Chain A
Amino acid sequence: MSAEASVLYDAPGPRAKRLDAILNVVFTAVFIAIAAWIIYAWYERGIFDDRWEVLWDPPKNQTAGDVWMSLARGVGNTLKAAAIAAPIALAIGATVAIVRRGARRRLVTGSSAVVTELARGLPVLMLMFLAKLFFGWSPLWSVVFGLVVYNAAVVAEILRAGLAALPKGQREAGLSIGLSMMRTTLLIELPQAVRIMLPALISQMVVLLKDTALGYIVAYDELLRVVKLNRDFFGDRYLIPLFLVGALTYILINVAVSRLAVWLEGRMRRSPGAAKKNDGGDPMPEGGAEAARYTANTGRGTGGVPGP
């Protein structure tokens, strides 16, 4: 039991401490037993035989270099799709958010709201198939299309929440020193909105990176598909080592980006001058609440943790 206070349990007394100690030992033993049983079962099935040689001494006259080069190409393609889609999605999302902020006509705000809701409410895979089968685009651009449409809509919503969260005085101050509406939004409001919502934006980029794996289904040669192609070439026996390499790569990349977001969030909290002392009193009085509500409702923005 950690020292921090918990809402569920009282501070443990001598009896609870004894019980905790016993349960600790029991559950550790249970977990070790389960792990040992799984590994033994695998051993029985011959998982730990020479099939792992595919990673350093593959059959069929291939060299280890060939296998690793193909896997590296897969990682490269995964990152390429994400690297093309992310800036476009951010740019379009920001544009939509700015237009919705500045637009006074019902028609513009209404239609952009409908389009964002639609793009957010559809499976990314549907959009990828639209690009592939109807527009006839290449797999790479189908993947990029699906990722851009969906993530631009989400980014627009995140930034809209961020803009709505700013204290009114920011806008009034901008207008009162003679900036136009557009310049007020661009120069004063948007930088602050991005700053509040940066963790949510980064976690959305992790989601984008994760979703590149959908490229497997639309025949884009990303990491998972390369694993599958290698398996088709070498045979089903060699799937487990190849899959393990692929899965670990995905998880490590995503964990690294998520950690970056957590670190960035912590750094922003500590850094002076950020979103403070604007209207006097509480930093971001309404803003904090709005951002917290957004986080609570969407599960996003909790330190760069990818959403579903």
Chain B
Amino acid sequence: MDTFIEEFGAVWGGFLGTVSLTAVSGVLALILGTVLATMRVSPVGPLRTFGTLYVEVVRNTPLTLMFFFWVFVAPSIGLLFPSLGFWPAVTALTLYTSSFVCEALRSGVNSVGIGQAEAARSIGLTFGQSLSQVVLPQAWRTAIPPLISVLIALTKNTSVAAGFAYVELVTVQRTLMTSNPTDGLWIFFGIALMYLIITIPLGVLAGQVERKVAFAR
């Protein structure tokens, strides 16, 4: 207990590390995931093939392997980051998470009944109008709860960066537990609390959004 309070500066540093990693890679993953989802639902064959291949491979790759690639393998094929730590972690997390974002968005689009689009077209809406007025508003409702669970998973996944020279909560947990073995349980629950500070609001938000957008199909 004492260690956790005394070393709160270090814990706070780790917390900021986790938050910044989650925020930056979360935003980038949402953008990349949207691009991938657009590819996967587009009428152009090669784009669909690329999107499908990407999602299949990335989803079956362990995240640790992804980190390993960007930290150890990428430099030897000429992809060098200016510094170790933050940017390789962001790259790995973004590429990994974007495939799950893509699937959440795609399932949202696929959940819209085909009659909706046919009705929109039959009253004379253009492609853009039917997309923005009819299809996407409904797709969002289905896509948002799984998107939030993807973001919660991302928050937990940032912990893998602890193994690859980045200071975040689990890195701090490891240092503190090694230097104060007797205080281990308190440190564990303290760090756990810091994670819950991020994930619980997201979970509550997910529940509220879900209730708000619930509608009969």
Q: Is the CB of B159 within 8 A of A125?
A: yes
Smallest CB separation, A15 vs chain B (Å): 13
Query: How many residues from A make CB contacts under 8 Å with B?
Result: 64
B88-118 residues at the A interface, CB under 8 angstroms: 96-97, 100, 103-104, 107, 109-114, 116-117
| Cα–Cα, bound, A154→B61 (Å) | 20
Q: Is the CB of B64 within 8 A of A299?
A: no
Q: Is the CB of B109 within 8 A of A250?
A: no
Number of A-B contacts (CB under 8 A): 187
The chain A residue with its CB closest to the CB of B38 is A8
B116-154 residues at the A interface, CB under 8 angstroms: 116-117, 121, 127, 131, 135, 142, 145-146, 149-150, 152-154
| Cα–Cα, bound, A5→B110 (Å) | 11
| Cα–Cα, bound, A273→B198 (Å) | 45
Q: Is the CB of B62 within 8 A of A250?
A: yes
| Cα–Cα, bound, A210→B170 (Å) | 19
A296 interface contact, C-beta 8 A: yes
Q: Is the CB of A224 within 8 A of B65?
A: yes
Measured between beta carbons, the chain A residues less than 8 angstroms from B163 are 125, 214, 216-217
| Cα–Cα, bound, A20→B170 (Å) | 49
Select which of A1, A9, A12, A213 is within 8 A of B63 by beta carbon.
Answer: A213
Measured between beta carbons, the chain A residues less than 8 angstroms from B61 are 210, 247, 250-251, 254
Q: Is the CB of A123 within 8 A of B64?
A: no
Smallest CB separation, A247 vs chain B (Å): 6
Q: Is the CB of B188 within 8 A of A126?
A: yes
Q: Is the CB of B72 within 8 A of A228?
A: yes
A134 interface contact, C-beta 8 A: yes
B28 interface contact, C-beta 8 A: no
| Cα–Cα, bound, A12→B45 (Å) | 14
Interface pairs A-B: 6 shortest CB-CB: A217-B163, A213-B62, A134-B184, A123-B159, A308-B153, A254-B60
Residue positions of A touching B, CB distance < 8 A: 1, 5-10, 12, 16, 20, 23-24, 27-28, 30-31, 41-42, 45, 47, 118, 121-126, 129-130, 133-134, 206, 210-214, 216-217, 224, 227-228, 231, 236-237, 239-240, 243, 246-247, 250-251, 254-255, 258, 296-299, 302, 305-308
